[in-house]
């Protein structure tokens, strides 16, 4: 017998229906059921299974009050068994009024601090259900009081569900379901028509061979309003690189994007021709935003350039706001930081306040003019891209989410018991994580935010958005209904 299994003790006076319930749960006739009081004397242990979760059921002897000596004996034994158990089902006969001996024992069991349910049996019909109220006298909450009838099979489902919820997740089932979910997801990815993904990304998903190559390609969009120093930053970065791929000279079409190798990655700046055309973003705001979108479409990383020598403007905010919609790796570049300025903290606070939607993006102060921190910016591009493409093992995600839930338990909206079965990352670029749970649409966004923050505290997601979705066991992972961006 598996020693790690949770133990369930079934305790109660003779003839209340313990063996009957035991048999119902065990789905076999193991204990002797009889009308004669005190026939179930031995402690029986039996491995049971509720849905996919296993436990060990302990059947204690009845508490015989007819003989005081035996009563104290059996009571002692009942308490001993209860001490050994993780979950206690205390059963009483609903056809009788609550009894002092029951109460006395019940309070003793309560003091053990285990999961405890008061099971009132022989509530055979709706009329008898009214009598259940008398058992609130025991001082137990609604959620731990069950009126059932074993012989009429009433109310047992609720009790079984309660027990199920207190048993640990069956890891075999989880692993199997996860494998199935991943397989299903892969299959779905092949006939994909999700507008959220660019055609390039679809290629990445459907062609695993290219994946590695693609993970080494960083397409960077340098965005920002006019005159913040976008082309200067481009020049500063490229200026240090000898292996710059030159634009094809003499062509009337746009020259290719400029590209260089750095730390085994290929960094490409998208739409550099446009960037170099001075004043390109000047003019009507609508065009500035349109052009920014075109660039973001081709990129998997954005450098949001701001001018440290000027006040932030609404247009800065609008341009930065676009980035979040594209789900890219992001760095906020505070340019024109020519000398040591003691205002960094103030600027940082201002940026954080105005760009709340980019709270995950690091801020780096550079000067295209003096070259200050340009090297650091290049390193940061690599670092953030690694965060953006990372895949976190399910075991690690589960450990962290379990820890988060144990620190701050899941809310029970309207008494509904919420449960996260497991957590898995089902996509990268940016990381997409599914919380597989019983009632996904009841998960409040504030709790989800708490989990997202907890994930951010435990993994390195700097510079990358993370998308966390809650879904049911049988929902498709690609179900975007629950998708909420990490804001
Ligand atoms: N009306 C009614 N009778 C029940 C119900 N459940 C069990 N019984 C009857 O109650 C009697 C006692 O049931 P058991 O399951 O043997 O009770 P027990 O608590 O195991 O009894 P001991 O072995 O004496 O400890 C039997 O005649 C059952 O048929 C129920 O839900 N409704
Ligand atoms: N002091 C200072 N000036 C800078 C820095 N970077 C750029 N500039 C100046 O800012 C002005 C605008 O620089 P650009 O690189 O052309 O800016 P841009 O964002 O590409 O401008 P548009 O193409 O018009 O959108 C130029 O006069 C640059 O010399 C810097 O780090 N420090």
Encode pLDDT of 334-354 as tens digits: 999 988 777 788 889 999 999
Helix and strand element counts for the chain (H, E): 16, 15
Q: How far is the CA of 20 from the centre of ligand 1 (A)?
A: 6
Q: What is the pLDDT of residue 186?
A: 58
Half-sphere exposure at residue 470, Cβ-oriented, CA atoms within 13 angstroms = 20
Token pair, residue 3, equals 């020693």
Q: pTM for this one?
A: 0.55
Note whether 401 and 435 are within 8 A (CB). yes
Q: What is the pLDDT of residue 445?
A: 84
Q: What is the ipTM of this complex?
A: 0.52
The ligand placed nearest to the CA atom of residue 273 is 2
pLDDT in tens, 426-447: 888 999 999 999 988 888 888 9
Residue 61 in marked binding region: yes
Distance CA 403, CA 114 (A): 21
Q: Is the CB of 225 under 6 A from ligand 2?
A: no
| 413-419, long-range: CB < 8 A, 24+ apart | 413/442, 413/444, 415/142, 415/143, 416/442, 417/165, 418/442, 418/443, 419/165
Q: Is the CB of 229 under 6 A from ligand 2?
A: yes
Note whether 470 and 483 are within 8 A (CB). no
In terms of C-beta density within 10 A (0-12 exposed, 13-18 middle, 19 or more buried), how is residue 267 classed? Answer: buried
CA-nearest residue, atom 23 of ligand 2: 278
The helix (H) or strand (E) run that includes residue 385 is helix 374-389
Polymer length in residues for the chain: 487
CA-nearest residue, atom 14 of ligand 2: 229
Q: How far is the CA of 150 from the centre of ligand 1 (A)?
A: 8
Distance CA 50, CA 484 (A): 34
The ligand placed nearest to the CA atom of residue 278 is 2
DSSP code of residue 114: S
The helix (H) or strand (E) run that includes residue 322 is helix 314-326
Q: What is the pLDDT of residue 277?
A: 64
392 Cβ contact partners less than 8 Å away, ≥ 6 residues apart: 425, 431, 433, 459
The helix (H) or strand (E) run that includes residue 219 is strand 217-223
CA-nearest residue, atom 23 of ligand 1: 40
The ligand placed nearest to the CA atom of residue 34 is 1
CB-based pocket (< 6 A), ligand 1: 12, 14-20, 33-35, 37-40, 62, 121-122, 124, 149-152
β-sheet with 432-437: strand ranges across: 420-427, 432-437, 467-471
Residue 231 in marked binding region: yes
Q: How far is the CA of 287 from the centre of ligand 1 (A)?
A: 80
Note whether 109 and 88 are within 8 A (CB). yes
Residue 454: count of CB within 10 angstroms of its CB: 17
Q: What are the chain's domains?
A: 7-165 (3.40.50.300), 171-192+391-482 (3.30.300.20), 216-388 (3.40.50.300)
CA-nearest residue, atom 15 of ligand 2: 229
Show the low-confidence residues of the chain (pLDDT under 70). Answer: 1-3, 27-44, 59-74, 174-175, 178-179, 181-213, 240-256, 276-284, 475-487
């Amino acid at each position: 017998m598996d020693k790690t299994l949770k133990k369930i003790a079934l305790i109660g006076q003779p003839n209340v229906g313990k063996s009957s319930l035991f048999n119902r749960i065990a789905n076999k006739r193991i204990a002797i059921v009889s009308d004669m009081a005190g026939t179930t004397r031995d402690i029986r242990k039996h491995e049971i299974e509720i849905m996919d979760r296993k436990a060990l059921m302990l059947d204690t002897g009845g508490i015989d009050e007819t003989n005081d000596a035996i009563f104290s004996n059996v009571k002692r034994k009942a308490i001993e068994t209860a001490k050994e158990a993780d979950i206690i089902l205390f059963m009483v006969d609903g056809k009788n009024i609550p009894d002092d001996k029951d109460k006395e024992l019940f309070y003793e069991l309560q003091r053990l601090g285990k999961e405890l349910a008061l099971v009132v049996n022989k509530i055979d019909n709706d009329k008898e259900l009214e009598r259940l109220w008398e058992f609130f006298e025991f001082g137990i909450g609604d959620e731990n009081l069950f009126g059932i009838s074993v012989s009429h099979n009433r109310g047992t489902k609720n009790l079984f569900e309660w027990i199920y919820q207190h048993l640990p997740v069956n890891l075999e089932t989880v692993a199997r379901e996860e494998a199935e979910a991943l397989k299903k997801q892969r299959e779905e990815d092949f006939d994909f028509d999700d507008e959220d993904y660019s055609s390039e990304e679809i290629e990445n998903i459907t062609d695993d061979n290219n994946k590695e190559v693609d993970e080494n390609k960083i397409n960077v969009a340098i965005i920002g309003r006019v005159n913040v120093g976008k082309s200067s930053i481009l020049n500063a970065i490229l200026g240090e690189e000898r292996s710059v791929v030159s634009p094809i000279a003499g062509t009337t079409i746009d020259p290719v994007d400029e590209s260089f190798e750095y730390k085994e990655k290929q960094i490409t700046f998208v739409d550099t021709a446009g960037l170099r055309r001075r004043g390109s973003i000047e003019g009507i705001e609508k065009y500035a935003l349109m052009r920014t979108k075109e660039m973001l479409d081709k990129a998997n990383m954005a450098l949001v350039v701001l001018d440290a020598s000027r006040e932030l403007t609404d247009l800065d905010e609008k341009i930065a706001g676009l980035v979040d919609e594209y789900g890219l790796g992001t760095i906020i570049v505070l340019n024109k930081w020519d000398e040591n300025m003691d205002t960094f903290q103030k600027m940082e606070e201002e940026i954080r306040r105005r760009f709340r939607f980019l709270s995950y993006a690091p801020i780096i102060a550079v000067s295209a003019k003096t070259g200050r921190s340009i090297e650091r910016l290049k390193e940061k591009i690599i670092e953030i891209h690694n965060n953006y493409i990372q895949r976190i093992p399910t075991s690690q995600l589960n450990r962290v989410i379990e820890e988060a839930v144990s620190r701050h338990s899941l809310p029970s909206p309207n008494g509904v018991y919420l449960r996260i079965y497991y957590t898995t990352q089902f996509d990268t670029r940016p990381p997409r994580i599914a919380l597989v749970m019983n009632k996904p649409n009841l998960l409040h966004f504030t709790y989800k935010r708490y989990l997202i923050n907890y994930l951010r505290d435990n993994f390195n997601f700097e510079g990358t958005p993370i998308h966390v979705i809650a879904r049911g066991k049988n929902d498709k992972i690609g179900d975007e209904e629950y998708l909420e961006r990490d804001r």
